[in-house]
Structure 1
Amino acid sequence: MLSAFVRAFRTPDLRRKLLFTMAIMAIFRVGSFIPTPGVDYGNVQQCVSQIDEANSLLGLVNLFSGGALLQLSVFALGIMPYITASIIVQLLRVVIPRFEALHKEGQSGTAQLTQYTRYLTIGLAILQSTTIITVARSGNLFPGCAVPVIPNDSVATILLMVVTMTTGTALIMWLGELITERGIGNGMSLLIFTSIAATFPGAMWSIAGGANGATNFAIVMVVILLVIALVVFVEQSQRRIPVQYAKRMVGRKMFGGSSTYIPIKINMAGIIPVIFASSLLAIPGLAAQFGDQSQEWVIWVSRYVARPEAPLHLVLYVILIIFFAYFYTAITFNPDEVADNMKKYGGFIPGIRAGRPTAEYLDYVISRITAAGSVYLAAVALIPTIVFIILDVGANVPFGGASILIVVGVGLETVKQIESQLQQRHYEGFLR
């Protein structure tokens, strides 16, 4: 592995891409510490030190922003508006025929969908920044903190803060696209990777410095390594469905007669089910936070649904993850479309007739694989949480299920791209 990194930096073109990517990631982290105009930075630091970040309503968004959200920085929204916009555009392909037609047009259609995603990202950034500023003004962003984080709440100041946070989101989106075009790996994924990885050292240091620090630190490290090994093993696993293409004459040439396979990953939905489940479970907590704290339903929701360690919360979390795993897989993989394409080009699965029987067979295989994938997602999401609850590390939870899946997944994809470029430049043939 170390020799591969040395070869990567010895290759001028690849070295430029790696250095460019690391420079953009550094700029992204610097922007996470620049406070938004109108925010009292000293009061924000005082309030952040008093809250339980893991149980905060905006904990997931704060994780994806690398801690910038609770700092109310210019990059407070992080990459979350773009993620939400991308998911919405993907889901709208099922509802809006125009979006599905653009998806099938190839590169030009994909470029148009990307443009729609950018517009929607800006709209969501305006909405989310307004919401966060409103919550911060009311004091609900930092419950129990007596000092105001926005001393001057005039209309001009609020508008300036909204424009600044929205502009920060647009800048993050541009930085991610720069990495994709001129650097290594997927830009948006690497920025998410940077945000999450930046919170790990501080969280691990807090665990080591707490009660039973050495024991808890050792247990957490063992759990982290075991879960990472599980994620690597499952994410690299796939079911290969064999496909045979019949020979056919086109003019005077013979085509076809080749054998290939359809690679189906065990976890086809990726991290999306975990994000969806976490977002939906945050809604009852949001409603309870703005309700009358003396009402019975508010007390019940705060006690049994909003708390991550509550048994009902964990059960609902698992159910939602399994549901969204099936839901998102059904949207992204269409057995009928795959079967039609295979039939069009003379392909068939050995032992299965082309057309409708092939679609039914693919649907059967996908259903079985998704069952295993959804259980795997639920296990990865719950194992760290349960261990941290038992150890009572509270807000110092460094590795949740979503964090591990994103960090390991992005790391594997980036390493694969580096290896592919190394093979292009350092190919060793039969003769040395």
Structure 2
Amino acid sequence: MLDALRNALRIPELRRKILYTLGLLAVFRIGSFVPVPGVNAVALAEQLGVAGGNIFGFLNLFSGGALGRFTVFAMGVNPYITASIILQLLTIVIPRLEELAKEGPEGRKIIQQYTRYGTIVLGIIQAIGITALARNWGVLTNPNAFTFISIVVTLTAGTAFLMWLGEKITEHGIGNGISLIIFAGIVADIPVGTFNIFQAIGEGGVNPFSLLFFLVAGVLVIMAVIMVQQGERRIPVQYAKRVVGRRMYGGTTTHIPMRINQAGVIPVIFASSVLFFPLTLAQFVPSIAPFVDRVIGIGTFGYNLLYFLLVLFFTYFYTAVTWNPIDVAENMKKYGGFIPGLRPGKPTAQYLDRVLSRLTLAGALFLGVIAVMPYVMAAITRMPTSFLYFGGTGLLIVIGVALDTMKQIEAQLLMRHYEGFLK
């Protein structure tokens, strides 16, 4: 791995992309410590209970601790993720958006612009809610209209800036920018979480043997996640020979790689964002808070069941959006390709759809189990839920983003005849 990293830094273009990505992630981390003026951040963090493993604790994890410090990046990229979910769902319902999605890069640019507008609108709504909550709790130093508006503008601008950072990383750097920002936020809190756990052991709050069992189980889960993320089924494809002029083309055998987890970590991120909405709303409407916390509060049976079902839904949904068996079958037929034993066209599309459905079911069940597993493990080991800040969601995101980024670097290295990370 060290040799592969050394080779990556030797290539000027790849080195520039890596340094560019690291530089923008450093900007994100610096901004996570720039406080919003006019707010007592310590008192607000106590009121939100970000250290207690509640919904705001998860939002604080995704923002890299920015919510607990109430900095300019306190809302993180959550409004952008929610806007992306809404636009992707509307793509199926609204014919105009469906046409844009099929128009290629130009159509996707327009949809991306709509997503930006939606991010700003949702960011303003979320910023107003958080600021109103802070005013009701009396943590604003000067609770007048100017302070209220300035906090809303600052929080919305912070989210817009993070959205811009993510797009720039995707465009000029390595990996998916938004995913890397979430990744950086989660990883940045690992040292603090580790310190809190060992401090609890010293104070007698955590049994060392329970922690050891939890860590061993965590390592096994990480190994399983990597195996499933890398696993794929290869569908053999043959291309018939054809003569064009004086040259003969085709006659080759290749395969279609169909991954077990075709959707990656996107379903987990989407499911978390959807589940955060009622939990966050309950914090702003005290009358429904007891009911929501009792039914789908973090760690409850209802929360885990709903989380599991949402992961299943978004796995199938995102796979259906990104991988169309009919288009694949038509492209194969156009270039003279066929799956041995199947006629080109509709029979091939039906076969691919059947295989994809079975693989997606296995991948969706695996993602759902991993997402809720930490709470099951906590019940067995009797670990306090406040130490589950990382959770299955964070684990899947960190491993998935790391693997995807390594694959992109791997592709760049192999293209230049170097050995990559994954041998």
TM-score w.r.t. the length of structure 1 is: 0.86
Q: Secondary structure at the match of 1:129?
A: helix
- Please say if residues 38 and 152 of structure 1, whose CA atoms lie closer than 8 Å, have aligned partners that are also in contact: yes
Q: Distance in 1 between matches of 2:82 and 2:273?
A: 11
1:176-215 CA distance string (max 9 Å, x none): 2332333322222211110111122211221121123643
Distance 1:377 1:246, change over 3 A: same
Match of 1:66 in 2: 64
Q: Distance in 1 between matches of 2:86 and 2:136?
A: 30
- Please say if residues 296 and 302 of structure 2, whose CA atoms lie closer than 8 Å, have aligned partners that are also in contact: no
1:233-270 CA distance string (max 9 Å, x none): 00000111122222334455433333222211111233
Distance 1:86 1:249, change over 3 A: farther
Distance 1:68 1:26, change over 3 A: same
User: Is 2:385 aligned against 1:391?
Assistant: no
Match of 2:88 in 1: 90
Q: Distance in 1 between matches of 2:385 and 2:105?
A: 47
Q: Distance in 2 between matches of 1:373 and 1:182?
A: 31
Match of 1:81 among 59, 74, 79: 79
Match of 1:233 among 218, 227, 231: 227
Distance 1:299 1:426, change over 3 A: closer
- Please say if residues 63 and 76 of structure 2, whose CA atoms lie closer than 8 Å, have aligned partners that are also in contact: yes
RMSD, aligned CA:
2.7
Q: Where do 5+ consecutive residues of structure 1 fail to align?
A: 140-147
Q: Secondary structure at the match of 1:54?
A: coil
1:16-51 CA distance string (max 9 Å, x none): 333332222111011112111221234335546x55
Map 1:264-343 onto structure 2 (within 5 A).
Answer: 264-286=258-280, 288-289=282-283, 299-303=290-294, 305-343=295-333
Q: Distance in 2 between matches of 1:266 and 1:319?
A: 18
Match of 1:144 in 2: none
Q: Where do 5+ consecutive residues of structure 2 fail to align?
A: none
Match of 1:54 in 2: 53
Q: Secondary structure at the match of 1:242?
A: strand
- Please say if residues 67 and 74 of structure 2, whose CA atoms lie closer than 8 Å, have aligned partners that are also in contact: yes
Q: Distance in 1 between matches of 2:16 and 2:281?
A: 49
Match of 1:409 among 388, 400, 408: 400
Match of 2:105 among 104, 107, 115: 107
Structure 1 residue 280, shift from structure 2 partner: 4.3
Distance 1:105 1:321, change over 3 A: closer
1:73-110 CA distance string (max 9 Å, x none): 10112122222223333333322333333333333333
- Please say if residues 61 and 389 of structure 2, whose CA atoms lie closer than 8 Å, have aligned partners that are also in contact: no
Structure 1 residue 172, shift from structure 2 partner: 1.2
Match of 2:410 in 1: 419
Map 1:229-268 onto structure 2 (within 5 A).
Answer: 229-268=223-262
Distance 1:12 1:366, change over 3 A: closer
- Please say if residues 127 and 155 of structure 2, whose CA atoms lie closer than 8 Å, have aligned partners that are also in contact: yes
Structure 1 residue 10, shift from structure 2 partner: 4.2
- Please say if residues 67 and 73 of structure 2, whose CA atoms lie closer than 8 Å, have aligned partners that are also in contact: yes
Letter in structure 1 aligned against 2:44: V
Distance 1:257 1:410, change over 3 A: same
Structure 1 residue 386, shift from structure 2 partner: 1.6
Q: Distance in 2 between matches of 1:166 and 1:150?
A: 18
Distance 1:230 1:159, change over 3 A: same
Match of 1:135 in 2: 133
- Please say if residues 67 and 195 of structure 1, whose CA atoms lie closer than 8 Å, have aligned partners that are also in contact: yes
Structure 1 residue 123, shift from structure 2 partner: 2.1
Match of 2:346 in 1: 356
Structure 1 residue 315, shift from structure 2 partner: 2.8
- Please say if residues 199 and 398 of structure 1, whose CA atoms lie closer than 8 Å, have aligned partners that are also in contact: no
Q: Distance in 1 between matches of 2:318 and 2:11?
A: 40
Distance 1:249 1:190, change over 3 A: same
| Aligned-residue identity in percent | 51
Q: Distance in 2 between matches of 1:268 and 1:394?
A: 31
User: Is 2:40 aligned against 1:6?
Assistant: no
Q: Distance in 2 between matches of 1:9 and 1:273?
A: 33
Q: Distance in 2 between matches of 1:306 and 1:137?
A: 27
Map 1:171-190 onto structure 2 (within 5 A).
Answer: 171-190=161-180
- Please say if residues 204 and 217 of structure 1, whose CA atoms lie closer than 8 Å, have aligned partners that are also in contact: no
Deviates more, 1:370-379 or 1:228-237: 370-379
TM-score w.r.t. the length of structure 2 is: 0.88
Distance 1:185 1:52, change over 3 A: closer
Letter in structure 2 aligned against 1:15: R
Q: Distance in 1 between matches of 2:281 and 2:161?
A: 32
Match of 1:145 in 2: none
Q: Distance in 1 between matches of 2:338 and 2:156?
A: 50
